[in-house]
Copies of this chain bind each other. A is one copy, B any other.
Amino acid sequence: MVQDVRTLQVQLEDRSYPIYIGRQLISGRWFREAGVPAGRKLLLVTDEHVGPHYLNLWTEALEEAGYRVFTHTVPAGEASKSLQTFEDIITFALECGLDRNSVIVALGGGVIGDLAGYVAAAYMRGIPYVQIPTTLLAHDSSVGGKVAINHPQAKNMIGAFHQPLMVIYDVDTLKTLPQREISNGMAEMVKHGLIGDVELVDLLEQSMEDLLQLSPDGFEDALEKAIAVKVAVVSQDERENGLRAILNYGHTLGHAIEALSHKQGEPIIHGEAVSIGMIGAAQLGVRYGCDSSIVERTRVLLQRAGLPTILPRRIDADSILRIMAHDKKFKDNQAVFILPKGIGEVYIQTGVPIQWVRETIDQLYGEV
């Protein structure tokens, strides 16, 4: 039974869509409300981790609502964001006879959302798709329509802006996540607070430990606020021409840290790397005039979220700077950073000297 559902609305003219947040949301009702008539073909794409938990439940609910459901399961992990898997799903969609009225359903975390979303963007020049995120991290990636697969030489190089028909965020699906994955997603929730919602930061500070347990009291409140920040930004800058850059708070250093750690075979996962990156951004922000209390307040919050705030020495500064240079983060030895003005407000700072970036990285190793 569906109960106590919160709805957020992404406003993008004819590409507007709702985000449902709640528990026990597995139901065909949302599809009917979105105007998908019974009889339509739906292709559920999931991975080998998520499928065993939720694929049958969703399939049954959707078939009960009168849809013709097909399913395709890919291996879990980033390697599935390949052109080969992309082509395989399109082949399967053709074999199932999906047409321009059919709907792709992305059931899983960020990899599945990106992959299935890009299939939907490309199939017959674009068909509708639905995001059903099953990780906390995907509260971020499932909203905003950025979909992509990887090129062997670069992540997310082949993609589109393709807004979903809706996002169905069933908090119950988070219960099967390991704690590290909850913390992983919590990093982006903290980010959303820091860039746009003081009240969310307050809420996180009041009850982080409860939130990590998905406590019914406050969890949906916090999640709704975090998604609302993303929604507000995306609604103003769908195609990342300006404002949307602030969503990269903590990501400029974070991406480099994440990439390096993967190369070393000892992954610092996305939220963890962004956590360290947000400490760096806070420190840099202080150089530009932000009150220095922001560093400590950010650090305490992230630590309570179970996230690292110190950079391991194996991730050396030279390598970070090299990756940033390779990713064209520097121009004339200066970089662009998203920096805090205070809690809940950030801005885009151009012309950050490479030397300051290096000094910031050095600070991230912590006290010797």
Interface positions of A (Cβ within 8 A of B)? 83, 87, 90-91, 94, 99, 121-126, 146, 148, 151-154, 156-161, 239, 328
Contacts and interface: CB of A to CB of B under 8 A. Distances in A.
Contact of A151 (B91, B148, B161): B91
Nearest to A87: B83
B125 A159 contact: yes
A154 B87 CA distance: 12
A144 to B, nearest CB: 11
B153 A94 contact: yes
A157 B124 contact: yes
Contacts of A153: 91, 94
A247 to B, nearest CB: 14
Contacts of A156: 125
A125 B90 contact: no
Contacts of A160: 121-122, 125-126, 160
Given A83-B83, A87-B151, A126-B160, 10 more contacts: A83-B87, A90-B151, A91-B153, A94-B151, A94-B153, A94-B157, A122-B160, A124-B157, A124-B159, A125-B161
6 contacts: A87-B151, A94-B151, A94-B153, A123-B157, A125-B156, A126-B160
A347 B91 CA distance: 34
A153 B123 CA distance: 13
B158 A123 contact: yes
A160 B122 CA distance: 6
A146 B158 contact: no
A156 B123 CA distance: 9
Contacts of A126: 160-161, 239
A158 B122 contact: yes
A299 to B, nearest CB: 34
A246 to B, nearest CB: 17
A120 B14 CA distance: 24
Contacts of A87: 83, 151
A157 B125 CA distance: 7
A123 B157 CA distance: 6
Nearest to A147: B125
A159 B162 CA distance: 13
A90 B157 contact: yes
Contacts of A91: 151-153
Contact of A125 (B94, B148, B152, B328): B148
A122 B123 CA distance: 13
Contacts of A328: 99
A158 B99 contact: no
A152 to B, nearest CB: 8
A22 to B, nearest CB: 30
A236 to B, nearest CB: 14
A99 to B, nearest CB: 7
